[in-house]
Structure 1
Amino acid sequence: MKEIARPQAILFDLDDTLWPIAPVIAEAELTLHAWLAAHAPKVAHAFTIEELRARRLALLAEQPHYHLDLHQLRRAALEAAFAHVEEDARHLDGAMRHFTAARNAVQLYDDVMPGLMRLAEQVTLGVVTNGMADLEVIGIAHHFKVSLAASRFGKAKPDPAIFLAACDALDVAPQHAVYVGDDLRLDVEGAQKAGLRAVWMNRTGSTAHLEANIRPDAICTDFHELIAWLEQQLAD
């Protein structure tokens, strides 16, 4: 029987793993539209929130390189909307600052903070994300030795390179690292192809992994189950 390497590090996804992202984005887009109504009214009057979102998705389809930097995607789409209605482009920076602040107003799942502190007593922690959250602003950066974002690294999950780079930064071999995330393809399959073990953080009780034919090394519904799984690995 193949011996399973003891975990030395756990790397985390952020959105929908450490906090729910849908309500954050919805609120950020709502408050951004109100900000536009006050400071760039031509844009707000010409486009609803849904229309701005559709224009952004269309731009992403035309220029998929924006998958690496969703902040620049939103800025480029907003810049095009400003130009379309001949709105004063001087307000673009303010709009992006407003959205970014709202984007970082996340609410951690209740189990995350105590879970991170418990895990940090046993293994090194890090982050690999395709998103744009600012961990310093959110206030949890100090929990992670490494934080690697696709926008800075130049490659995004599920590319194995970003997982391997995080392992290198932690000085941990991939087989001694575990990745935890909510997305089966980006997080679980991506990490496994890079040689890491992968835990699917399945807070909803979904059985999507069966349909996708992806086999996580473990499935956890919260940090309590993740800690129990890790401690079992360390005890074996």
Structure 2
Amino acid sequence: MTPRRPLALLFDLDDTLWPIGPVIAAAETSWHAWLAEHAPEVTQRYSVAELRARRMALLEQRPELVVDLYQLRRVALEQAFAEAGADAAHIDGAMHHFHERRNAVTPFDDVAAGLAALHGMLRLGVITNGNADLEVIGLHHHFDTVLASSRFGRAKPDPSIFLAACEAMGVAPADAVYVGDDLRLDVQGAQNAGLRAVWMNRNGSAAHLEAGIAPDAICAGFDELLAWVRGQMQH
């Protein structure tokens, strides 16, 4: 059966529109330095790595926090403040500092032009498990709908978040395509909800073969994505 012409294209954010690992690493180093200045009791007791380990342990105890990684960070920090005897009045400032640094991302070189070209062809949206602020980053004007797990209450790969985004955009899942870098969360999650899925595979990995996941397309960047979408629009 010939695929239907897509009406909407939805995107993951972290590691799809920009690299996130180095940003988070730098943000956590800066965050720890801020804490050392304002709540030294915490940093004398916990290194960056130890604070990260505490968050992961908390997530195991409270898996529902996976939908809001900021809330996970805050609850873990509240516990660290309490255990270190630090002044909890600084928690809001610490979270604000991390928010600023976490959004200091640099989109991949092909993103701005690629989104501008796609915006003229079909409706664009976002589904994210992260906490990026598209207004701060400067890409919000490209998207009609932005759905974050922290606001929705369910996280990818749960089909409901994909279905809710399609409903918000006024399209059937079969008329939507999801683009993301994570095979399980993005590709398999979208396909299980009835969307087509493009794997944004910038590093040439063959991980989909080992995982047994078959993306509807594999693109190394926005040039290939644009070419694929143009081909689909001819149906």
* Bucket of the pairwise TM-score, normalised by the shorter protein: over 0.9
C-alpha distance in structure 2 between counterparts of 1:171 and 1:125, whole Å? 12
Q: 1:195 aligns to what SS in structure 2? A: coil
Q: 2:89 aligns to what SS in structure 1? A: helix
Instruction: State percent identity of aligned pairs.
Output: 64
After TM superposition, the runs of 4+ consecutive aligned structure 1 residues lying more than 2 A away are none
Matched to 2:219, the amino acid is C
Between the two proteins, the alignment pairs up a number of residues equal to 235
Gaps of 5+ in 2: none
Q: Where does 1:52-91 land on structure 2 (aligned, <5 Å)?
A: 52-91=51-90
Where does residue 134 of structure 1 map in the other structure? 133
Where does residue 155 of structure 2 map in the other structure? 156
Q: Where does 1:176-191 land on structure 2 (aligned, <5 Å)?
A: 176-191=175-190
Where does residue 197 of structure 2 map in the other structure? 198
Report the TM-score when normalising by structure 2: 0.99
Where does residue 235 of structure 1 map in the other structure? 234
1:3: how far off? 2.4
1:168: how far off? 0.7
Structure 1 residue 36 corresponds to structure 2 residue 30: no
Where does residue 96 of structure 1 map in the other structure? 95
Please list the CA deviations of residues 64-123 of structure 1 after superposition, one character each: whole Å capped at 9, or x if unmatched.
001011000000111111011100111111000000110111110000000000001111
C-alpha distance in structure 1 between counterparts of 2:84 and 2:172, whole Å? 53
C-alpha distance in structure 2 between counterparts of 1:175 and 1:90, whole Å? 49
Gaps of 5+ in 1: none
C-alpha distance in structure 2 between counterparts of 1:87 and 1:158, whole Å? 37
1:235: how far off? 1.9
Where does residue 220 of structure 1 map in the other structure? 219
C-alpha distance in structure 2 between counterparts of 1:81 and 1:205, whole Å? 40
Where does residue 114 of structure 1 map in the other structure? 113
Q: 1:38 aligns to what SS in structure 2? A: helix
C-alpha distance in structure 1 between counterparts of 2:101 and 2:94, whole Å? 11
Please list the CA deviations of residues 25-62 of structure 1 after superposition, one character each: whole Å capped at 9, or x if unmatched.
00100000100111100111111100010011000011
1:21: how far off? 0.5
